[in-house]
Amino acid sequence: MTLEIDVVCLFPAMLEGPLSESIPGRIRERGLAEIRIHDLRRWGLGRHRSVDDAPYGGGAGMVLRPEPVAAALDELRRAESTVVLLDPGGEVFRQARAADLATRPHLILVCPRYEGVDERIRDLVDLELSIGDYVLTGGELAALVVVDAVTRLLPGAIDDASTVEESFSAGLLEYPQYTRPAEFRGAGVPDILVSGHHAAVRRWRHDAAVARTKARRPDLLPPEE
């Protein structure tokens, strides 16, 4: 099955390059995902294809008007679509949400610019997502993050062993990895990794992932009894 993704934004070039490179590029070429990037100005108002205006009540910056977004969704939305607004006030985007979105047939990602969006735009979408507690100049980079994280989970997108390994250590930070050389600037490689004992390696990796998560991101672990 092909995951269809429509991205509606004001700077399509910010997405086109990155989504044509490397693994995302291959995912598209192989037809696992069909990604279309649209310029919101296509649905802009008047001769200047305007999409924003000054905020009622005054204040700095411009606010995205609802009509262009509504017109875009009227054209792109289908019964099975999930419409996502990228917004710093949205649900914080996590792996579980990426996995959920990877099972949907059609995503529409709406990327605002400017100081914010007219509040009535929120009524037009199914979900608001933030990629973290910082403010970007617009939703394009956030949409890239979401598309990348979602499409790599599509069946056949990457080596299946990688995603199986991830689910084994779900919710934990990655265990320490080593490759050649066996010694680098005085630092060696843990003996267990060259021992050939697969079960022991697996246990070591799991324990190391738990220890690292405890040390760096205790917030990811379930509360202790």
For residues 97-156, which are near ligand ADE according to CB under 6 A?
A: 130-132, 134-136, 139, 142
* Tokens 């262009």 belong to residue: 68
Selected from 3, 7, 86, 147, the binder of ligand ADE by CB under 6 A is: 86
Question: Looking at 57-65, 80-88, 177-185, 192-200, which segment touches ligand ADE (CB under 6 A)?
Answer: 80-88
- Assess contact for 178 and 184: CB atoms under 8 A: no
The Cα-based distances of 10 to 68, 119, 133, 190, 208 in angstroms read 11, 19, 22, 50, 44
Nearest distance in Å: CB 134, ligand ADE: 6
Nearest distance in Å: CB 149, ligand ADE: 13
Instruction: Name which of 27, 98, 110 is nearest 68 in CA terms.
Output: 110
Toward ligand ADE, which CB reaches closer, 86 or 153?
86
3-state DSSP assignment of residue 37: strand
Toward ligand ADE, which CB reaches closer, 33 or 142?
142
CA gap 157, 29 in Å, rounded: 11
Nearest distance in Å: CB 131, ligand ADE: 4
Toward ligand ADE, which CB reaches closer, 88 or 176?
88
Toward ligand ADE, which CB reaches closer, 25 or 132?
132
The number of beta carbons lying within 10 Å of the beta carbon of residue 157 is: 21
The DSSP secondary structure of 61-107, one letter per residue, reads S-EE-HHHHHHHHHHH--TTEEEEEEEEEEEEP-HHHHHHHTT-SEE
Q: State yes or no: residue 56 binds ligand ADE (CB under 6 A).
A: no
Instruction: Tell me which residues touch ligand ADE (CB under 6 A).
Output: 86-88, 130-132, 134-136, 139, 142
